[in-house]
Chains A and B, each alone.
Chain A
């Protein structure tokens, strides 16, 4: 099932020569519109290396994944609509700035998605956060919706959907279906995740071409158990219980 190995390249600031930049595996390039992969900076690769490493303890895992989540949220918020706004600065100049239009909320897919709530709150204080519980049905091996609690006016909001690992995309597809059934337009949904698989991204985009996906890294593929390769293990376990 696993596809071609992920690309390796030298990573670092532009002013350094190729030889003085270390090489590392970077995100797979997937030709799908509406998929935004964070810039493959050396710092991001280093953060990902920390959380992938099996020897990283839980405290560090939490710390370093939070830093990536923070970057994901910052990038996700860039896809909200803006309006121009001029302000006067403390030294009396005019600054040609902008403001965001519309209201947002977060929706986390339990349990791993809840790990991303702190990063969202770090950027948007007092943001409303809904929750969706989706679990694999042991009989059918298909995802099944167990619980949801969403803001009443979610149809009028931009939704940041949170789930760190985007493997087959089964849960994410079900979550988007739930959001759509509550009246959220597809193009008002931003799906934030840390690590995605090319299969998941393509499958998801064919169903919801207008949902924006923001990810830190697209890995090389899935193994026969549908785990992301190389991945980082079970995110929820590493964040909450191991």
Chain B
């Protein structure tokens, strides 16, 4: 305990963030039941929150947590065993535990049976694949990943996503039931399923990052932490799957995007767009790490994938000293690739912006106009926002005003609306 942590709960939380994946992984292997293991891990954490602030953090905190979790497992098996012969058999075959020995103190370091260092990596990876299983909704995958691998409490997750704690708990409970009902095995998926399953894992990590980096609402500080946690998860994945270029690409994309965080707010907290950012505030070490990760992805020699292309675009911005200095032709080419690989109206719109920078607004306007009837942009401020900007650059002020006014009216995000409103105001002030 220290002055910054008078209750000692922060220290428990810190240990948990480091150990939760290993504890849950080992308990899943021990019980053969992921949902049960997750409950047991939470029970062990709850016990630590009561005991450690009183008695101090044990010398081997992971061993302590594991011993408690295992004792609770045996209790659970015995309870279930009265109803189910399978659990009764399990309870009798397990090594010594509180329920069988009557011990109440978890004692010092436990067994080597549970703690096989050669299996920790596989277990962590299997946990990732389980928590991000395609039978789960995206929000369930996010909540489960943050709790199991990230070691965040339901409270912390709830605060980050601005929902009640009960909602997060319900999501996790439902997710575990879904996994159980679908009979999802605790394993690293076989090679044939690997690419699709990996894509799912990466999308969950990316979602955590965008949730943390989006400016929509909520406690900014906490949300930045969420982005940091996503970066950490991506680094963990590069260690677990060093041969997968898209894993390196995702890490690169997150590092290169996070590098711009220090410059994305003005003195009054307003959003500063990429083209207006003070690039000297960008985090150079994050850019260096991101570029190194992207180079690693490129060395696989398979070309860039979904995240690789986005990371390469982010790299174009990261290395440019100014908007004018940016290699816009390369950005356009990378968007061409992205549009072929993962066609989407949003990619087309971003590509149009890049085209306007590379070849001028007149070249981009037909691309934007072709998107006008796209369902994805119905009721969205994005299209009129871009179109208004292009018209402004073409000197068609009246049409630009109409588009920007439409964008302001449609934009639901306060910060983004302020940016659009500023543009509109500048339009009405004649240029000097």
Q: Do A and B come from one complex?
A: no
